[in-house]
Structure 1
Amino acid sequence: MRANALHSSLAALACAASLIGPAGWARAQGAASQTERERATCDGVQQDREACRREAGAAKQEAQRGGLAPAGQAEQNALARCQLLQPAGDRADCEARVKGAATSSSGSVMGGGVIRESVTPVPAPPPSPAR
């Protein structure tokens, strides 16, 4: 009787593992492939490879903890600051800077910094009438 109960328990456990296993395996494969992509990225940048890998590892740990904010949240926060802190006349320019419209970038972190420039054309005032 005990052998029969043990056999039933093992069968139920195997069935449950087969249902849970693929999802767990997919998550593990996803994390492993993400780590491999980050390592490949570290090989192609002008940064100390070990520092890049340390940063990738720290980001992975923070993601596992649930401490990383979604990418879109930073833009939403910046746009909210444009709405609250800027005068109405500057609001459109602030939103354009946040979204990267009419913005060019140059430089590198290794070179000392990245310079971003936003250009807003302003029409010249009309000429004053001659006297």
Structure 2
Amino acid sequence: MEKELRSKITLSANLEKKIIGNTGLEVTTIGMGGAPLGNLDEKTARKTLEKSYELGINYFDTAPLYGAGNSEKHYGKFLPEIDRESFVISSKVGRLILSEEEAKHHYSNDLVTPAIETNLKASSYKNNV
């Protein structure tokens, strides 16, 4: 399926790109925000991600709070099927989901590192930060 997807979707070069600080990471100035993906069914989320990539977007953003983790799951099914060097994904940490209605802010080292690892696992990536 990976080959099929790669041949079907090609990254457009028409969108403006900028380098993030001193990282060397070049991203499109328009990104794909993952908040709306959290409440979409798998098929619709996938079509949305495919189309955004097809249009040239290479910057994807998500967070554990988006759809109570569903956004990360949608990215986790899509992103491993495209060239890893062709995109940048960002996430957020520090807000703990305690229930559907309650979240707590927490930025200690003891919680930030595991949160990053959880983000990467949810989006199907090993820790390469």
Give the structure with the larger helix fraction: 1
Q: What TM-score, normalized to structure 2?
A: 0.26
Q: Which has the higher contact order (CA 8 A, sep 6+)?
A: 2
Give the structure with the larger strand fraction: 2
Structure whose CA Rg is larger: 1
